A = this chain, B = another copy of it.
Amino acid sequence: STLRCIGQSNANSIDVFFLIYASSLVFFMQAGFAMLCAGCVQLKNVQNSMLKNLLDACGAALGFYSIGYAFAYGGSDFENPQKTFIGTSNFFLIGVDNLMFWLFQFAFAASSATIVAGTLAERCQMAAYLCYSMTLTGFVYPVVAHSIWSPQGFLSADSVNPLWGVGVIDFAGSAVVHLTGGTTAIIATYLLGPRRGRFYDHRGQPLEIPKEFPGHSAALQMLGTFILWFGWYGFNTGSALNLSAPNKDEIVSLVAVNTTLAAASACVSAMATNYVFEDRKVGEGTFSLSHAMNGCLSGLVSITGACAVVDPWSAVVIGFVAGILYLVSSQTLIQIRIDDAVDAVPVHMANGVFGTIATGLFASERRMALAYPHANDVGIFMGGNGTLLACQCCGILFVVGWVTSLMFPFFMFLNYLGWLRASASDEVEGLDVSYHVVPPSRYLGTDVEDEVKGPPEHVLRVLNFASFVCIITVYYAFVGLLNIA
C-alpha cells in the first residue's frame, strides 16, 4: 500500500504539472492575441489595443477569482445527477482544493474575453471595454462553461445523465470559448458601427470599395499567430485535465496531432482558395499573408471542440473546410458592412459554430469510446443516428442565445449612455493620443477637420426592434431547451 501511495503520488504530480504546463501556454496566448492586435491596428492605436489586452487578462483573473469560478464550477460533483443552471459556492476560491484547475479555467476565461479586443479596435472607449470585460468573465462566460463543462451542467457530456444520453461534446471549447467570444464580438461591432471611413464616406454614403486600414506590422501579426498556435498545444491537450486517468495519454496524443493538422490544412485552403478566387475575378492571384494566418487560426478554432474524438484525416478535412468558411464569412461581413478590425468574427464565431457541428459529423466510434465512454452516439458521417449532432446544435443555440440575450442589451445600454463609441475626433487622431499619455513626438498631426462627419446614425434606429425580437426568440428557445433536457 506504500507502493500504491508512491504510484498515486506520482500520478498526482504528473497531473498538477500537466496543468501548470497547459495553463502557462494558454496564458501565453494573451501575448499572441496582443501581438495579433498590435500588428493589425494602425500605429496610432497600438497602445490602446495593448492596454485592452492586458486588462482582459488581469480583469479575468480578478473576476474569475471572485465570482466567475464559483458560477462556473462551484460545488461541482461528478456523482450528483442533479442539474443546475449556475454554480453557487467557492466564491473567492474559498474551499477550493484543486487550485491548478482554477488556473487553467481562468486562462480559458481570459481567452474568451480577449477575442473581442481586436474586433473593437480603433474606435471603442476604454471604459466600455472594461465594463464588457468584467461582465463577460464574471458572469456570461461562467454560465456557458457551467452548462457545457460542469458535471452539473444541463448540456454537459460529463454529467451522469446527459442530454439525450449524449450531451454536448465540446472538448476544448469551440463553443464554450470561441463561440462565446465570437458572438460577443459580432454584437459589439454591430452596435459600435464601422470605423470612420471604412464603409461610408464623410457624408455617410456607402463607398464603392471599402477602405482598407492596413495594420502597422505584418511581423507582429505573424508572431501573434505563431504564439497562438503554440499556446493551442496547451489549450487543447490541457482540456484532458489530467494525464493519469486511463487512456488519457492516447487521447492527448490524438488531440495534439489533430490540432496541428487542422491548422496546417486550413492555412493552405484559405490561401489557395483566395488565390483561385482572385485569379478568376481579376485575372491574377496573390498570396495573401493575412488570409493564410487567419486561415490557420480558423483551423485551430474549428478543431478545438472535436480534437479528441475525430481521426487525423477528419482533422485535415475539418481544417480544409474551416479555411474556406473563414474566407466566405470574412467576405460576407464586408458585404453587410460589419467592420471587424482583426477578422475575429469569421475566425472565432463562424468556425466556433462549424467546429461544434463538425464534432457531430466526424466523431468516430473508437475515439468516442476512449474520450467519452458514456456517450451513446457518434458523428453522422461515421454511422451515427443524429443524436450527437442534435446535441451539438442545441449547444450552439444555447451559447448564441445566452450571449446575445445578455450582451445585446448590455452594449445597447452602454451605447445609450454614450460610453461605447470614441468621439469622432478621438478616433481620427488615434486613441493613443486621446486616452493615454502619449508624448508629443509621436503625434502625427493628422488633419482632423476633414473627416469628422457622419457615422451611419440610421443604423441605430433599427436596433431597438431587432434587439427585442432577438431576446424574445432566444428566451423561448432557451426555456424550450431546458424543458427538453
Chain A interface residues (CB < 8 Å from chain B): 3-4, 6-18, 20-21, 23-25, 27-28, 30-31, 34-35, 38-39, 46-47, 50-51, 53-55, 57-62, 65, 92-93, 98-100, 102-103, 106, 126, 212, 214, 217-220, 222-223, 225-227, 229-230, 233-234, 237, 243-244, 246, 248-249, 252-254, 256-257, 260-261, 263-265, 267-268, 271, 286-290, 292-293, 296, 312-313, 316, 432, 435-439, 441-442
Cα(A8)–Cα(B3), bound, Å:
10
Write out the residue numbers on chain B whose beta carbons fall within 8 Å of the beta carbon of A59.
264, 268
A438 and B290 alpha carbons, distance in the complex (Å) = 11
**Which of chain B's residues have a CB closer than 8 A to the CB of A257?**
93, 99-100, 102-103
Residues of B within 8 A of A256 (CB): 20, 23, 99-100, 103
CB atoms of A13 and B11 under 8 A apart: yes
**Chain B CB within 10 A, most for which of A20, A31, A217, A244:** A20
Whether A219 contacts B252 by the Cβ 8 Å rule is no
Residues from chain B with a CB closer than 8 A to the CB of A248 are 13
B93 x A62 contact (CB < 8 A): no
20 A-B residue pairs with Cβ-Cβ distance under 8 Å, sorted by A, are A6-B7, A16-B243, A16-B249, A20-B233, A23-B233, A28-B227, A31-B230, A34-B226, A38-B219, A50-B218, A54-B226, A58-B267, A92-B313, A93-B312, A103-B257, A212-B439, A214-B438, A217-B219, A286-B435, A286-B437
On whether the beta carbons of B27 and A229 are closer than 8 Å, the reply is yes
Q: Which interface residue of A92, A218, A312 has the most chain B CB atoms within 10 A?
A: A218
A47 to chain B, nearest CB (A): 5
State the 6 A-B residue pairs at the shortest beta-carbon distance, nearest first: A61-B264, A31-B226, A6-B7, A38-B219, A58-B264, A99-B253
State A252–B5 Cα separation when bound (angstroms): 19
- Distance between A367 CB and nearest chain B CB, rounded to angstroms: 12
**B residues in contact with A57, CB < 8 Å:** 264
User: CA A384 – CA B68 in complex, angstroms?
Assistant: 33
Chain B residues positioned under 8 Å from A100 (CB to CB): 253, 256-257
A65 touches B316 (CB 8 A): yes
B264 to A62, Cβ gap below 8 A? yes
Cα(A15)–Cα(B10), bound, Å: 10
Q: Is the interface of A mostly helix, strand, loop or mixed?
A: helix
B219 touches A13 (CB 8 A): no
List the B side residues contacting A435 at CB < 8 Å. 286-287
| Given contacts A7-B6, A100-B256, A218 and B47 within 8 Å (CB-CB) | yes
Interface residue from B4, B15, B219 paired with A220 (Cβ < 8 Å) = B219
A10-B244, A17-B18, A20-B256 known; 11 other A-B pairs, CB under 8 Å? A9-B246, A10-B10, A13-B248, A20-B233, A34-B222, A38-B222, A39-B219, A50-B222, A54-B292, A58-B263, A103-B253
Most buried by B among A58, A98, A223, A287: A58
Cβ-defined contact, A30 with B287, below 8 A: no
| Set B28, B226, B436, B441: member contacting A289, Cβ < 8 A | B436
Return A126 CB to nearest CB of chain B, in Å: 5
Q: How far is the CA of A312 from the CA of B61 in the complex (A)?
A: 12
Q: Given the complex, which residues of B lie within 8 Å of A441, measured CB to CB? A: 214
Residues of chain B with a CB closer than 8 A to A103's CB: 253, 256-257, 260
A51 touching B287, Cβ below 8 Å: yes
Contacts of A15 in B (CB 8 A): 249
Cβ 8 A contact of A7, one of B3, B98, B313? B3
* Option from B31, B264, B313, B436 in Cβ contact (under 8 Å) with A287: B436
Contact A106 B260 (CB under 8 A): yes
Which residues from B are CB-within-8-Å of A62? Answer: 261, 264-265, 268, 316
- Tell whether, in the assembled complex, residue A230 and residue B50 are in contact, meaning their CB atoms are under 8 Å apart: no
A438 to chain B, nearest CB (A): 8
Q: A226 vs B60: C-alpha distance in the bound complex, in angstroms? A: 15
Question: With A17-B18, A225-B54, A289-B54 in contact, is A230–B263 under 8 Å at CB?
Answer: no
A12 touches B249 (CB 8 A): yes
What is the minimal beta-carbon distance from A44 to any residue of chain B, in angstroms?
11
B residues less than 8 Å from A263 (CB atoms): 58, 61
Write out the residue numbers on chain B whose beta carbons fall within 8 Å of the beta carbon of A233.
Answer: 20, 23-24, 27
Interchain CB contact under 8 A, B23 and A21: no
